[in-house]
Structure 1
């Protein structure tokens, strides 16, 4: 499966546009991070845990996106847009991803 933020793939021809695919996931900053209370006040450890959490959530949502595209018989997704939004008043972020499922040759 080819994933790209561009609207075309160099060296490939889009033969069929199969539709828009999208998905969302949520991540808690300290979910499963094993951070102690003391670590939570260390900005370096806080940002490292936040980054790890976001990366894991991004991979999960991209896997869901691939599954949606595969269900449409696509072999690529073009025009991918990623949005990360913090949820106000919580330590949670929402990651949404949208793109166009296509067949390329």
Structure 2
């Protein structure tokens, strides 16, 4: 019985540091946001096609399309996709685009 109690106490002390351990290296930003200038948006329905094309790219997390400004704001995981893949997706849908700005 004493051995079991001692084992439990030792096991508890050994496992505690692992629970509270800090990561050894800081995590890199897992998100990036790009503002795209989009061409050929002629009606308010175009934004749905653009949003669908951008959302279909793996790694895309959030898409906002602004018909009035002719822009699309995309938040994505840079480990899964990049600006080029996003531009290619909407260009293939008939809406060529260029990067206006990028934020990390």
Normalising by structure 2, what TM-score? 0.31
- Structure number with higher strand proportion: 1
Q: Radius of gyration: which is bigger?
A: 2
Normalising by structure 1, what TM-score? 0.30
